């Protein structure tokens, strides 16, 4: 049974990193005129109320998106991401945080398309309602891992997959590598993304080793830490694995992540890294 509710964590530093990277990928895809498809395996509910009890219980957004909301010195590489967040808050106050589907939807052109999957019985109806009259968006109540087999490859040759589970299951790190490899084999022209938490460094090392041993090529890693690696405070960092990243994404992220780390750090200095985990 799924118990994770993203409403408790919406807009936190992990969302900021994930969505900052995701928007850079979508912006890169839009440089070509041909349409693309976005597939989200764990889509959530599309929008989160930051004044609701769940968000206020943890206040994680205050050390995430709230730190960027009023910054006048944000780099241009964040322009599209911050514009998507502002679009969810037309009155100018930070009251809502858009999930990945809403952020990508803001960036789609009229010929682009989204396929969203969500298994949680509470999140799915909210997601379905959010895009009920949107012909560019298909919403499916299903396990996202199974959805990769069902929906890949899409009719579009280009696009991006986001694999972003809750990591509730003990074998989740193993499952995401399997899902990434399946997507890699099914869709040989897609950009493939996995978000992961940094809770125990040993788990991340195992993830990296599994990707290196998988036979996949051209895999980029982008990670920030907002707390030291030995911090006892739960998730102290997060990262994205990107297979077949767009041209020069590594250069963009090498400029962006130091700024994000400095903006989001909590207390003692922490780290960031962008590296080619597996070469082309």
Q: Annotated catalytic sites, by residue?
A: 164
Nearest to 194 by CA among 229, 151, 160: 160
What is the C-alpha separation between 254 and 145, in angstroms, rounded?
30
Which residues have C-beta within 8 Å of that of residue 107, sequence separation ≥ 6? 23, 26, 27, 30, 80, 84
Length reported for the chain:
280
| Vertex 116 angle, CA 111 and 117, to 5° | 160
Tokens 């990243």 belong to which residue?
245
Question: What tokens appear for 109 in the block?
Answer: 């052109």
270 and 224 in contact (C-beta within 8 Å)?
yes
Q: Which two tokens stand for residue 185?
A: 């084999």
Distance between the two ends of the chain, CA-based, in angstroms? 39
């Amino acid at each position: 049974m799924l118990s994770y509710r993203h409403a408790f964590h919406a807009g936190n530093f992990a969302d900021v990193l994930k969505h900052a990277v995701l928007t850079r990928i979508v912006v890169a895809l839009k440089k070509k005129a041909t349409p693309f498809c976005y597939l989200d395996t764990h889509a959530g509910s599309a929008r989160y109320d930051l004044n609701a009890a769940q968000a206020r219980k943890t206040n994680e957004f205050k050390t995430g998106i709230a730190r960027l909301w009023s910054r006048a010195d944000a780099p241009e590489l964040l322009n599209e991401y911050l514009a998507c967040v502002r679009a969810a808050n037309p009155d100018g106050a930070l009251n809502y945080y858009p999930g990945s589907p809403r952020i990508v939807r803001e960036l789609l052109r009229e010929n682009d398309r989204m396929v969203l999957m969500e298994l949680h019985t509470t999140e799915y109806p909210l997601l379905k309602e959010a895009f009920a009259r949107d012909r560019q968006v298909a919403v499916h109540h299903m396990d996202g891992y199974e959805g990769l087999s069902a929906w890949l490859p899409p009719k579009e040759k280009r696009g991006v997959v986001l694999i972003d589970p809750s990591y509730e299951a003990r074998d989740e790190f193993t499952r995401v590598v399997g899902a990434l490899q399946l997507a890699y084999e099914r869709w040989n022209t897609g950009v493939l993304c996995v978000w992961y938490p940094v809770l125990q460094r040993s788990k991340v090392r195992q993830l990296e080793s599994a990707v290196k041993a998988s036979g996949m090529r051209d895999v980029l890693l982008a990670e920030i830490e907002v707390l030291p690696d030995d911090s006892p405070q739960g998730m102290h960092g997060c990262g994205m694995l990107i297979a077949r990243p767009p041209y020069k994404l590594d250069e963009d992220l090498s400029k962006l992540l130091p700024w994000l780390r400095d903006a989001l750090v909590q207390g003692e200095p922490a780290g960031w890294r962008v590296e080619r985990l597996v070469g082309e």
